Amino acid sequence: MARFRAFPYAKALLAVVQKDDPRGAEKIAEELDGVAAALKAVPDFHKVLVTPMVAVETKTKILDAVLDALDIGELTRRFLHVVQHHYRMQHMADIAAAYRELVDQSLGRVRARVETTVVLDDDERRRLIDAVSAVEGAAVVADFEANRDLLGGFKLQVGSRVFDGSLAGELDRLSQEIEIEQG
């Protein structure tokens, strides 16, 4: 499912959440992420929910059992039943991501992914987040990952923008320039 098709589901859910319990938006996002992760981690669970030959009643029972095991709240549970009823469960990862994006926008924050060659300590992480926040003009929630393949420097992704300040990235750019010149 293209992200634009996931968006109406995410937008409708956020509207209900903001009406019923505005502070619950983050909890719902975590629950959706948990369900999307379960679908990815257990291919048979995913397969049962998207296979047309499995009876709706059977899918509902299996979905409810998994939602019970994941301790999913009532609002998220009702939403997931709507998604299942509309045969969109195979798109849960996109719906969860779109919902998370809308929650972030409503809270005035952006997500960033940072790859460095070494593990950063808390102070280094905080300084990097502060610098990105200043540039973005928004609060930043960052995921950090050590990636020795970068050779040096770092790679930062904020939304769809990628800033590659790694040595590996510089070598790739240099290699492409050489290929163009030798053309």
pLDDT 10s digits, 47-85: 999 998 999 999 999 999 999 999 999 999 999 999 999
**Count of domains forming the chain:** 2
* 59 and 114 in a common domain: no
Expressed as residue numbers, the domain containing 100 is: 3-105
* 128 and 87 in a common domain: no
Q: What percent of the chain has pLDDT over 70?
A: 97
* 98 and 8 in a common domain: yes
Q: What is the dihedral of CA 122, 124, 126, 130, to 10 degrees?
A: 180
* pLDDT tens, position by position, 129-151: 999 999 988 899 999 999 888 88
Query: Could you give phi then psi for residue 151, rounded to 5 degrees?
Result: 70, -35
Which of 99, 90, 96 has the alpha carbon at shortest distance from 39? 90
pLDDT above 50: residue 45: yes
pTM of the model: 0.76
Domain boundary among 105, 135, 170: 105
* 12 and 95 in a common domain: yes
Nearest-5° Cα angle at 134, 128 to 139: 80
pLDDT above 70: residue 183: no
User: Which CATH number does the domain housing residue 45 bear?
Assistant: 1.10.520.20
* pLDDT tens, position by position, 120-134: 999 999 999 999 999
Rounded Cα–Cα distance for residues 96 and 175 (Å): 38
Domain boundary among 45, 76, 105: 105
Domain boundary among 54, 75, 105: 105
* 89 and 10 in a common domain: yes
* 14 and 74 in a common domain: yes
Rounded Cα–Cα distance for residues 149 and 152 (Å): 8
* pLDDT tens, position by position, 75-119: 999 999 999 999 899 999 999 999 999 999 888 899 999 998 899
